[in-house]
Amino acid sequence: MILIAFLVQTLRIAIPYLFAASGGVVSERSGLIAIGLEGYMLGGAFCAALASYYSGSAWVGLAGAMAGGVALALLYAVTVIRFRADQVVVGIAINLLVIGVTRFFLRLAFHSSANSPRVPGFGAEQSGTGVVALAHNPLVWLGLVSVAFVSWQLYRTPFGLRIRAVGEHPAAATSVGIRVAKIRYLSAALSGMLAALGGAYLALDQHQFSAEMTAGRGFIALAAIIFGRWDPFRAALACLLFAAAETLQIQLQGAQLIPSQFVEMIPYVLTIVALAGVVGRAVPPAALGKVAD
Amino acid sequence: MSASSSSTADTTTSHRVVTLAGAAARRAAIEEAVLPAIVALLVAAIVGDILILSFGQNPGTVYRLLLEGTWGNAYGLGQVLYKATTLTLTGLAVAVGLRAGLFNIGAEGQLAAGGFAAAMVGLILPSGLSALVTLPVYLVAAAIGGGVVGGIPGVLKAKFGAHEVITTIMLNFVVLALLNYFVAAHMRVADSLHTAEIHAGALPPLSAFISGFHGSAANVVIFVAILAAVVTGWFLFRTRRGFELRATGLQPQAAEYGGVDVRGVWWRAMALSGALAGVGGLNFVLGYKHYYEDAFASGAGFLGIAVAIVGRNHPLGVVLAALVFATMSQGGLAVNAVVPKQMVDVLQAVVIIAVAASVPEVRRMLRRGR
């Protein structure tokens, strides 16, 4: 029983990571650094709450989130591809932009500086946090499917082959007739859409949007991508690992074995260790962050 | 006409051509630095208009309020100078990194670590000391605190090739969580997230010299920031180490071929970058509050990235950009009664994106025009 509770909570925490990490893998494998995941998630959460509130339907909320995520990702893609801006700079700016925009429109739409009113979510209202409620949330299933979908798409479809080609060697890809910019725009759009669904999960699960509610989850997803060495399944395992650590910390909170701050550090420390290459170096896609000519 | 005189004429002409070329190059460099900033401010003004109109307010009124609340009175100006002090130091930190070809995203954590280290020293020092004695001690402590946090990603890059963008981002979270633990678990004053007050050699506020600044947070650390900008400029453009640093940033392979210890430059540049950001921590901790407070950095490290980008990694540009961003931050508070202060967060992000996007464009335009 304790084990089931543990697994359920781990999955609940992992779902937003799974969405964002799957999206981030696509973006990074195409050569676009995914620092903006945090912003896409937060934007997605806000658009989900907004659309769900005004339509009364969580499904419309999902559509709103996807639209918002794609819009943000395309803003990023246009500035770094068309205008050749630095990816890291624009990625960070997107995160700052979304924090400001969501807070601004929170005041404009809901006259509050902290959170939205209650919005419709999925499933019965008081179904709790158990396994049944989890299984009734379509976003949980969608999150799991997104990992499989991205993996299948990257390794089993011509489009995925192109994504990997433009991420490793854009000049070679161009020479065989692949339009690098087009592939990257599509990859960015997909990453924004998936990450935004992760944000939508947060907002719809809590039945409201609150300012900066993603609280660094986009960066945990980024850590999972690197720790999973840019592979969708390994990144998903990293997401589950990080989520399990968080769950453990929450469930052991009464015991005070380890201070919560040290559990918070786990994903980041593991990622630094992975990058430093103590156990099997994490090597990024060759053209990651570079301007394509 | 003798051969010698004609050759003299030749050298004079060619000399003048060189000077003209130099002047043209300088003018082009200035255009290249200024045009993106103008484009960015125009784009920001348009976005600002849209946001203000969407809130049903008059853009002219809001912008006037913004300027009156910042440069229009001594208190507002003091607040702008206070905010610009931290931003100058974090901006310089990021700029030094970028000059070496390294992207330091960790200024936020380095700023916090510098402030924390200085606070720890301050809590130990006897309370009777004068600021003249304590300021150098605090400076060293803050520089070491930030320098260690900045140096770690530098060493990881030099030794293992770990990309500094990711390691500095990740280290931010580690450092902030660690400092939060120290403060929350061991040294906080009850019902707060800050340490006890530091009595050793308080750094005087600017209002001690100019009474008009009374009530504002501006303090003598501003002189540290100005000095840091001057010294950084001297170091980058007038010393061998600075030249090696810039050479590494332009083309590491070529620098290596020219005899530069590129890996050494990497970790030293990151340590220096972290130290600059760390010194920024003095402004809040010892110049303003006289205690370390958890999460005091609150984005000033990340804004340092914006300041460096908009200031084009030049110390003078960094100081100017820091003033612009500080004006926006303080201006947000001045207009908050009319439009949400988050408007300026949006505008700051818009400025960053617009500058980042227009720099390569302007460069290509100017090249085509020649």
For the CA atoms of B125, B131, B137, B141, the dihedral, rounded to the nearest 10 degrees, stands at 80
A169-186 tens-digit pLDDT: 999 999 999 999 999 999
Contact criterion met (CB < 8 Å) for B353 and A86: no
Split into its structural domains, chain A has a count of: 1
> What pLDDT is stored for residue B133 in this prediction?
86
Pick B17 or A263 by higher pLDDT: A263
> What pLDDT is stored for residue A281 in this prediction?
66
Which residues of chain A lie closer than 8 angstroms to B109, CB-CB?
none
Query: Mean of the pLDDT values across residues A90-116?
Result: 92
Q: Which residues contact B184 (CB under 8 A, 6 or more apart)?
A: A261, B193, B294
Quick check: is A286 in a domain?
no
Assigned architecture for domain B75-338: Orthogonal Bundle (1.10)
> What pLDDT is stored for residue A94 in this prediction?
96
Secondary structure, 3-state, B123-173: HHCCCCCCHHHHHHHHHHHHHHHHHHHHHHHHHHHHHHCCCHHHHHHHHHH
Quick check: is A290 in a domain?
no
Tell me whether A290 touches chain B (CB under 8 Å).
Answer: no
Of A113, A219, A281, the CB nearest to B173: A219
> What pLDDT is stored for residue B2 in this prediction?
40
Q: Decide: helix, strand or coil at residue A115.
A: strand
What domain range is A28 assigned to?
A: 2-276
> What pLDDT is stored for residue B281 in this prediction?
94
Q: Which residues contact A121 (CB under 8 A, 6 or more apart)?
A: A52, A58, A204, A205, A206, A207
Quick check: is A223 in a domain?
yes
Enter the ipTM. 0.91
Quick check: is A289 in a domain?
no
> What pLDDT is stored for residue A291 in this prediction?
66
Tell me whether A113 touches chain B (CB under 8 Å).
Answer: yes
A1-42 tens-digit pLDDT: 788 888 999 999 999 999 999 999 999 999 999 999 999 999
B161-195 tens-digit pLDDT: 888 998 999 999 999 999 999 998 888 887 888 88
Cα–Cα distance, B162 to A273 (Å, whole number): 9
Of A86, A96, A289, the CB nearest to B348: A96
Among B91, B112, B70, residue whose Cα is nearest residue B307: B91
What is the nearest CA distance from A114 to chain B, expressed in angstroms?
12
Contact criterion met (CB < 8 Å) for B178 and A265: yes
Taking 50 as the pLDDT cut, the residues of chain B under it are: 1-14
Tell me whether B348 touches chain A (CB under 8 Å).
Answer: yes
> What pLDDT is stored for residue B198 in this prediction?
85
Of A86, A101, A268, the CB nearest to B356: A86
Interface test with B, best of A42, A217, A249, A261 (most B CBs within 10 A): A261
Query: Mean of the pLDDT values across residues A127-145?
Result: 81
Tell me whether B358 touches chain A (CB under 8 Å).
Answer: yes
What is the nearest CA distance from A229 to chain B, expressed in angstroms?
13
Going A219 to A221 to A224 to A226, the CA torsion angle's sign is negative
Picking from A71-75, A136-140, B144-148, B221-225, which range would have the lowest pLDDT averaged per residue? A136-140
| pLDDT above 80 for A283 | no
What is the nearest CA distance from A79 to chain B, expressed in angstroms?
6
Which residue of chain A is at minimal alpha-carbon distance from B163? Answer: A275
Which residues of chain A lie closer than 8 angstroms to B55, CB-CB?
108
Among B309, B313, B224, B322, residue whose Cα is nearest residue B275: B224
A255: pLDDT confidence band, cut at 50, 70 and 90?
low
Q: Decide: helix, strand or coil at residue A23.
A: helix
Tell me whether B345 touches chain A (CB under 8 Å).
Answer: yes
- The ranges assigned to domains in chain B are 36-57+339-370, 75-338
B308-356 tens-digit pLDDT: 999 999 999 999 999 999 999 999 999 988 899 899 999 999 999 999 9
Could you give phi then psi for residue A210, rounded to 5 degrees? -125, 150
Residues 315-334 of B with CB under 8 A from A: none
Which residue of chain B is at minimal alpha-carbon distance from A259? Answer: B181
Tell me whether B56 touches chain A (CB under 8 Å).
Answer: no
Quick check: is A281 in a domain?
no
Pick A32 or A279 by higher pLDDT: A32
Query: Mean of the pLDDT values across residues A223-227?
Result: 91
Which residue of chain B is at minimal alpha-carbon distance from A223? Answer: B170
Interface test with A, best of B149, B169, B329 (most A CBs within 10 A): B169
A263: pLDDT confidence band, cut at 50, 70 and 90?
confident
Contact criterion met (CB < 8 Å) for A261 and B349: no
Of A222, A264, A276, the CB nearest to B162: A276
Query: Mean of the pLDDT values across residues A131-154?
Result: 90
A180-218 tens-digit pLDDT: 999 999 999 999 999 999 999 999 999 999 999 999 999
Going A235 to A236 to A238 to A242, the CA torsion angle's sign is positive
What is the nearest CA distance from A277 to chain B, expressed in angstroms?
7
Contact criterion met (CB < 8 Å) for A104 and B51: yes
> What pLDDT is stored for residue A217 in this prediction?
94
| pLDDT above 70 for A125 | no
> What pLDDT is stored for residue B7 in this prediction?
42
